[in-house]
Structure 1
Amino acid sequence: MEDYLLANVDVILGFAVVILTIFYRFEFPPILGFLVTGMLIGPYGLGILSGGEIDMTSELGVVFLLFTIGVDLSLNDLWKMKKAIMGGGVLQILFTTTLAFIICTWIGFSSATSIFIGLLISLSSTAIVLKVFQDKNEVDTPHGKTSLAILIFQDLAIVPLILITPILAGSSISFDGAFSNIFFKGSLIIFVFILSSRFLVPWIFYCVGRTGSKQLFLVSVVFICLSAAVFTSSIGLSLALGAFLAGIVISGSQYSHQAMGNILPLKDMFMSFFFVSIGMLLNISYLLDHLPLLVLAAVALIIIKSIAGMLITIILGYPLRTTIITGLALSQVGEFSFVLSKLGLEYSLLSKETYQAFLAVSIITMGVTPFLINASYRPAEFIVKKASDSVYGMKLVRGFCSGPFEGKECVEPEIKDHLIMVGFGFFGKTISKAAKAAGIPYIILETNPDIVKQEKTKGERIQYGDATFGAVLEHAGIRNARVLITGISDSLATIKLRAATPP
């Protein structure tokens, strides 16, 4: 059995090395290379593997990915993102499901199947989107955080969606039992993770840290991650949710950076198996036989989800550039949709042909996601530039939560030799504290309306605005400023900021 498993892993790695080397020469994203590897060696390709052999390793990839995202966050970060998580997540599912319901009903699907298909495609891929943003170092950008917030809600929404599926199929279900079950599971999770964050996890890391063993620390991190995943799975929730919560618990401790450093190599390794397993699902013969129709359906799905994502982020008050990039980033179908689709097939909400079509379209959208995200920046800049020519366009560009430049309430007192800080993340907060301590006058520019509102109540000298626009910098007194410091992770925005800064 061990030799059989090792042989399968060896086959995957061997094909992946060859295909990714070719893709690298043509500058194709690695994710697409892994998907093609799965298609090639899977049951519908060369038939070397059937797909079931790497299910466990592919699940570990998603588990470790969500764990690292959790370690990067904290409970305070989640609380700050509450509007985007709850408001954005709910609206995204509702908008996407409504648009899909209208189209599917028009095509000829039943109402129940149309709603179910809408719910299926409303979920986006946490694994792919966050992997692309992590590779580009853009998780902490406005579009990265907004996408993350909506994706977190979608991952949590899989539980009630599984409960809704039998109802759509016409099966009877006890609502009292279902809701009491959800309440019990939620209470149990909260109790266990609060207990772990206060006592168990700090005690484990303290004891391990005293030994000074790096190997023991790595084993402890993996143990905590997998234990949390197994716990949530044992009560009927996803493995990834437990891993994410374990990361949140560790993020609040002093051991978070070391834990992140230990787990990253494992995450990258197992994530490759996840993408290979997704590629194995695609029936190549079905794809080739119905290619024009499937490509058309994939394009329609991307447009529907992009429109829904953009509308939501506009409603949340984010700038136009953030809305465009976020909408395109969330335009694919997610990995949890595959779990839900199998349930729909079981309850006859999907026919076998519709199921295969769904798989093909989903994998097409997953495959083009890295290209869409990488290509979204230039169109976003072009649209922003065109919209900036009018007063109403500038309102859209800056976000509906922003105030006007003109007016006594917005005008900063005349200051000179001050510091302008772009972005109010960890780095921005550190600089502002140092400036206060040294008695240096400063102004902060931030594009997140929630942060601006919150910090203004604390008396912080912060303005809402995108610093890549000259008018925003002029309002902040750029010509009289001594220093401009950028604390944002978006490299393209940083280049634009340099161009917008007067000599």
Structure 2
Amino acid sequence: MTHLPPLISDLGLVMGAAAVVTLVFKRLKQPTVLGYILAGIMVGPHFPLFPSVADTESVDVWAQIGVIVLLFCLGLEFSFKKLMRVGGTASVTAVTEIGTMLLMGFGVGKLLGWSTTDCIFLGTMLSISSTTIIIRAFDELGVKEKKFTGLVFGVLIVQDLAAILMLVLLPTVAASTKLSGTAILFPVGKLIFFLVLWFVSGIFFLPTILRRAGRFMNNEMLLVTSLALCFMMVILAAGAGFSPALGAFIMGSILAETPLGGKIEHLTVSIKEMFGAVFFVSVGMMIDPNILPQYWQQILIIMLVVLVAMPFSTIVGALLSRQPFKISVQAGMSLSQIGEFSFIIATMGLTMKLTGPHLYPVAVAVSALTAFTTPYMIRLSGPLYNWLTRRLPGNWVTAIDKYSHEGQKVKPTSDWNKYITSYLIQTVIHTILVVGIVLVVSNIILPALDDHGDNPVIRIGTAITTLLLIAPLLWALAIRKIYPSVANRLWEKRYYRGPMIVLQLLRLVIAFVIMGFVVHNIVSYTWALILLGVTLITVLLNYRRLQLVHSWAERRFMTNLNEKEVLDKRESGAHLTPWDAHITNFVVSPDFKGVGMTLMELKLRENYGVNIAMIKRGAFTIQAPDRQERIYPEDTLYVIGTDDQVISFKKHLEESSAARARKGSPEDELTLQRMEIAEGSPIAGMTIKASEIRERTKGLIVGIERNGERILNPESNVVLLSNDLLWIVGNIKRIKVFEKIVGTPQRVDGAQEQKPGTTEKDTKEI
């Protein structure tokens, strides 16, 4: 009889139990993650009624692979460009929620008599919501088209990044008997350094490599290549002192920016589900069901904290970021559970023996219970909002609305802020790239070339080669002019010249220190001085050539970074309005009964209250279509309206066709902006038609606020008055430029006085 290795029999037992239990959970319409955990309890060593896994160590190895694959796939869904687009609203909300839950978790742990390390881990686990459970709940409840979901997804993105930071910091914090600022800042700085280095390098090389190899790749080759890149980054991360899961997440986020990111995500779904099942089953195997009754009070207390404190902190954060009250309540009630990252953090604490044995089953039990309650919490958000508006003092509700409205105004960024932002980005990125190249050369390449470290020819040659390699980066760091158009305007104002000179000298000092760092790590002090002088002369003599090389590299990076812009732009560009309007995309089915009809014949505004802000037809985009524009099959309609109006319009489409809806914004950043007409504005006293707002912004006025009243969908003959607040849907750049002009008072002699920051170029742009 052939001997079957325990690993195979154990894997068969794990997958069989997972399959049976999850089928039952699917039938009961419950999260499959909970089914995996229950299956793990059943095949674990603490449940004698079923066969148990014989070799738990081998299953643990499979589970570690599962964590790597799971984080890789989460990275494919994350992408750092999404984080950059999240903006201040979701960031403020997420930071408020995370900070509050960290403190709440720590405080509750102390009240329960737990150790400091257990309290830190508890606070961390309670601060991260479950993306999987929220998405599933949104799908089941049919609310993905509602506006608050955009805020929820933005918060989840920030939470994912915070979870990665916590995976790096927790071992250091838990192992430190005396927590100091250095103990925190060093791991954070190290993480930022490697994140920037890996991300910039990955975007520079990987999209080009995949694009050129794409014609030779089938699905199998692409899958193998992406997994190979994942495990290569895992090895690099482990070598740099980070967890393997971090490396997998970073590679996933890099590949998410490539044109093949969506395809890779699709190809890895099955692998993610398989290894994810093994991981979650292993989570259940570590739970002893016999000890859960001992901790039922702690489980109940922590569950109540999650269900109360997490929504409350999210609502407060959303209100601080100037979100409307209703949106804040809906988002807060949606973020009321813990999930995947909490499991990973709990597993890390248990396997590294940083936490007590009680924390792990308590966290899993709380996660399971809050997963059950999530759909009910989302359903209760509407009634809770209505109850709060009735119970809260009227002046509170009015103040919240006013605070929210003020936050939606278009506020141009000052030139100084633009200059400082550009300065910091350019300085930090180029410094990290140069230091990264030097570290690779001195720690990897040079030891391979010079084993004994006593060959001066090799060392001098390596130093010269390294300096030539980083010369374009040094040029950009020290000499390249930052934001020339803005810098020229600032230089004309004398009080900015001193700070600008100081910042330029600081760049030169940084470049000089880096050059010294390069040669000092490779050659002797004497040769270092000689090479520094030669490098300075070379940079000065080859100024134009270095500029061309750097410009080529920068263009290549930006091309790779933006190549997937059209395909991967999923976020809504809609900004919040006082009547809760937002933008949603719908694709017209060939079966739609309105195909071939004009917008005037469809009467969408009259029947459903929605406006068609834009139509995308193949490669053509029709901004602010007029009433005679016809609808054709496969047109993408960008519809603006309230939640109820959009849902009503969606039902109308679905009555006669299989319309497809997707949340997102068009490639040219169609958005909704609030703009105020200043006293003496050139368009004050004109009708909407005479003001030519439609033509000049390629947009549409969908609402006017006047003396506390709202005019929805105003006709073209409505006269615009000073202090009117206009809500315009259109191209964000055109609207911002137009706002500079309409907000500019008229001189007595009739000549238009330019508003600060408005240039002749701005006027020509619209």
- TMscore range, shorter length: 0.7 to 0.9
| Displacement of 1:185 | 4.7
Inter-partner Cα distance in structure 2 for 1:241 and 1:39: 28
| Displacement of 1:215 | 1.4
Structure-2 change in CA distance of 1:363 and 1:63 (3 Å)? same
Structure-2 change in CA distance of 1:383 and 1:459 (3 Å)? farther
| Preserved contact between residue 130 and residue 337 of structure 2 (Cα < 8 Å) | no
| Displacement of 1:42 | 0.9
Secondary structure (helix, strand or coil) at the match of 1:435 reads strand
Q: Which residue of 1 aligns with 2:267?
A: 262
Is 1:401 the counterpart of 2:638? The answer is no
Cα-to-partner distance string for 1:163-185 (whole Å, 9 max, x where unaligned):
22233x348x7x65874565345
Secondary structure (helix, strand or coil) at the match of 2:172 reads helix
Inter-partner Cα distance in structure 2 for 1:42 and 1:12: 9
| Preserved contact between residue 455 and residue 462 of structure 1 (Cα < 8 Å) | no
Moved more, 227-236 or 253-262: 227-236
Q: What letter corresponds to residue 42 of structure 2 in structure 1? A: L
Inter-partner Cα distance in structure 2 for 1:369 and 1:108: 23
Cα-to-partner distance string for 1:90-122 (whole Å, 9 max, x where unaligned):
433321232234444445557x45752553444
Moved more, 7-16 or 380-389: 380-389
Q: What letter corresponds to residue 194 of structure 1 in structure 2? A: V
| Displacement of 1:126 | 5.1
Cα-to-partner distance string for 1:443-496 (whole Å, 9 max, x where unaligned):
745899xx999966996858999xxxxxx9983569xxxxxxxxxxxxxxxxxx
| Displacement of 1:317 | 3.7
| Preserved contact between residue 301 and residue 331 of structure 1 (Cα < 8 Å) | no
Inter-partner Cα distance in structure 2 for 1:192 and 1:356: 36
Q: What letter corresponds to residue 120 of structure 2 in structure 1? A: F
Q: Which residue of 1 aligns with 2:85?
A: 80
Is 1:234 the counterpart of 2:239? The answer is yes
Is 1:155 the counterpart of 2:156? The answer is no
Alignment counterpart, residue 25 of structure 1, candidates 27, 31, 34: 27
Is 1:188 the counterpart of 2:190? The answer is no
Is 1:71 the counterpart of 2:76? The answer is yes
Is 1:8 the counterpart of 2:17? The answer is no
Q: Which residue of 2 aligns with 1:367?
A: 368
Structure-2 change in CA distance of 1:274 and 1:434 (3 Å)? same
Is 1:327 the counterpart of 2:335? The answer is yes
Structure-2 change in CA distance of 1:68 and 1:134 (3 Å)? farther
Inter-partner Cα distance in structure 2 for 1:290 and 1:393: 41
Structure-2 change in CA distance of 1:216 and 1:455 (3 Å)? farther
Structure-2 change in CA distance of 1:100 and 1:131 (3 Å)? same
| Preserved contact between residue 65 and residue 275 of structure 2 (Cα < 8 Å) | yes
| Preserved contact between residue 322 and residue 404 of structure 2 (Cα < 8 Å) | yes
Secondary structure (helix, strand or coil) at the match of 1:124 reads coil
Structure-2 change in CA distance of 1:428 and 1:274 (3 Å)? farther
Secondary structure (helix, strand or coil) at the match of 2:96 reads helix
Structure-2 change in CA distance of 1:271 and 1:410 (3 Å)? closer
Cα-to-partner distance string for 1:63-84 (whole Å, 9 max, x where unaligned):
3344334334544321122536
Q: What letter corresponds to residue 335 of structure 1 in structure 2? A: F
Cα-to-partner distance string for 1:219-268 (whole Å, 9 max, x where unaligned):
11221223223322332223333233223322322222221221111112
Secondary structure (helix, strand or coil) at the match of 2:5 reads helix
Structure-2 change in CA distance of 1:85 and 1:58 (3 Å)? farther
Secondary structure (helix, strand or coil) at the match of 1:282 reads coil
| Preserved contact between residue 332 and residue 365 of structure 1 (Cα < 8 Å) | no
Q: What letter corresponds to residue 401 of structure 1 in structure 2? A: S
| Preserved contact between residue 70 and residue 245 of structure 1 (Cα < 8 Å) | yes
Q: Which residue of 2 aligns with 1:380?
A: 381
Secondary structure (helix, strand or coil) at the match of 1:24 reads helix
Structure-2 change in CA distance of 1:54 and 1:428 (3 Å)? farther
| Displacement of 1:363 | 0.7
Structure-2 change in CA distance of 1:214 and 1:340 (3 Å)? closer
The within-5 A match list for 1:100-111 is: 100-108=105-113
Alignment counterpart, residue 202 of structure 1, candidates 208, 214, 219: 208
Structure of higher CA gyration radius: 2
Secondary structure (helix, strand or coil) at the match of 1:27 reads coil
Is 1:116 the counterpart of 2:109? The answer is no
Q: Which residue of 1 aligns with 2:515?
A: none
Moved more, 303-312 or 393-402: 393-402
Alignment counterpart, residue 154 of structure 2, candidates 145, 159, 184: 145
Structure-2 change in CA distance of 1:278 and 1:474 (3 Å)? farther
Q: What letter corresponds to residue 331 of structure 2 in structure 1? A: T
| Number of aligned positions between the proteins | 452
Cα-to-partner distance string for 1:372-395 (whole Å, 9 max, x where unaligned):
222222111221333455856866
Cα-to-partner distance string for 1:354-407 (whole Å, 9 max, x where unaligned):
x233122101122124322222221112213334558568669979534599xx
Structure-2 change in CA distance of 1:463 and 1:396 (3 Å)? farther
Moved more, 232-241 or 432-441: 432-441
Q: Which residue of 2 aligns with 1:337?
A: 345
| Displacement of 1:198 | 1.2
| Displacement of 1:156 | 1.8
Structure-2 change in CA distance of 1:222 and 1:114 (3 Å)? closer
The within-5 A match list for 1:484-495 is: none
Is 1:281 the counterpart of 2:468? The answer is no
Q: What letter corresponds to residue 9 of structure 1 in structure 2? A: L
Is 1:57 the counterpart of 2:62? The answer is yes
Q: What letter corresponds to residue 116 of structure 1 in structure 2? A: I
| Displacement of 1:203 | 0.8
Structure-2 change in CA distance of 1:261 and 1:477 (3 Å)? farther
| Preserved contact between residue 15 and residue 37 of structure 1 (Cα < 8 Å) | yes
Alignment counterpart, residue 37 of structure 1, candidates 15, 36, 39: 39
Moved more, 372-381 or 73-82: 73-82
Inter-partner Cα distance in structure 1 for 2:366 and 2:66: 20
Inter-partner Cα distance in structure 2 for 1:61 and 1:135: 26
Q: Which residue of 2 aligns with 1:493?
A: none
Q: Which residue of 1 aligns with 2:100?
A: 95
Inter-partner Cα distance in structure 2 for 1:241 and 1:432: 39
Q: What letter corresponds to residue 186 of structure 1 in structure 2? A: I
Q: What letter corresponds to residue 194 of structure 2 in structure 1? A: L
| Displacement of 1:334 | 0.5
Inter-partner Cα distance in structure 2 for 1:430 and 1:239: 45
| Preserved contact between residue 314 and residue 320 of structure 1 (Cα < 8 Å) | yes
Secondary structure (helix, strand or coil) at the match of 2:622 reads helix
| Preserved contact between residue 104 and residue 114 of structure 1 (Cα < 8 Å) | yes
Inter-partner Cα distance in structure 2 for 1:461 and 1:323: 29
Inter-partner Cα distance in structure 2 for 1:160 and 1:404: 34
| Preserved contact between residue 423 and residue 446 of structure 1 (Cα < 8 Å) | no
Inter-partner Cα distance in structure 1 for 2:612 and 2:252: 25
Structure-2 change in CA distance of 1:202 and 1:160 (3 Å)? same
Inter-partner Cα distance in structure 2 for 1:54 and 1:399: 57
Q: What letter corresponds to residue 349 of structure 2 in structure 1? A: S
The within-5 A match list for 1:436-475 is: 436=623, 438=625, 444=640, 461=699, 475=712
Q: Which residue of 2 aligns with 1:488?
A: none
| Preserved contact between residue 225 and residue 243 of structure 1 (Cα < 8 Å) | yes
Q: What letter corresponds to residue 357 of structure 1 in structure 2? A: H
Structure-2 change in CA distance of 1:434 and 1:452 (3 Å)? closer
Structure-2 change in CA distance of 1:308 and 1:431 (3 Å)? farther
Cα-to-partner distance string for 1:15-57 (whole Å, 9 max, x where unaligned):
1222223333333321211110001111222371264332333
| Preserved contact between residue 33 and residue 280 of structure 2 (Cα < 8 Å) | yes
